[in-house]
Amino acid sequence: MICGVLYFSSSDWPGGAIRFKKEPNQISRAKFKLLEAEVKFNINYNDYSSALDIGAAPGGWTSLLLEKGLKVTAIDPSNLHPDLLRNPNLTFYKKRLMKFPYRNISMIC
């Protein structure tokens, strides 16, 4: 009950959110958002070969997509975490979205 009104959550998780444990070298908490979406929407990364991460900095989603084996094109005018830039499956455009040439992308995040 909240303020005298019976409250029902449509979430399968207590408090409406999945709890994830932060990894030692995790770039940002944004990774948790994509992990939750993976569970909630049954995302199967094997159905995709590449992904476009728009607004990618500092790289939380990009890191997860790379861990899942996708080739990632990341776009952001800010810097990505330096550890990501060494990954051969990452193409990073340090620019605004309007300057990006779209092609050969199978998943957009």
Q: Computed over its alpha carbons, how large is the radius of gyration of the chain?
A: 17
Q: Which residues contact 83 (CB under 8 A, 6 or more apart)?
A: 25, 27
* 90-93: strand order across its sheet: 50-54, 71-75, 90-93
- pLDDT confidence of residue 12: 47
How many residues would you count in the chain?
A: 109
Give the pTM. 0.70
pLDDT digits (tens), the chain, 109 positions = 344 444 444 444 445 565 666 666 767 777 777 878 888 888 898 999 999 899 999 998 899 999 999 999 999 999 999 999 999 999 999 988 776 666 665 655 5
Of 34, 36, 65, 35, residue with least CA distance to 48: 65
**Taking phi first (over 0 means left), then psi (-120 to 50 degrees means alpha), and beta for anything else, what does residue 82 get?**
alpha
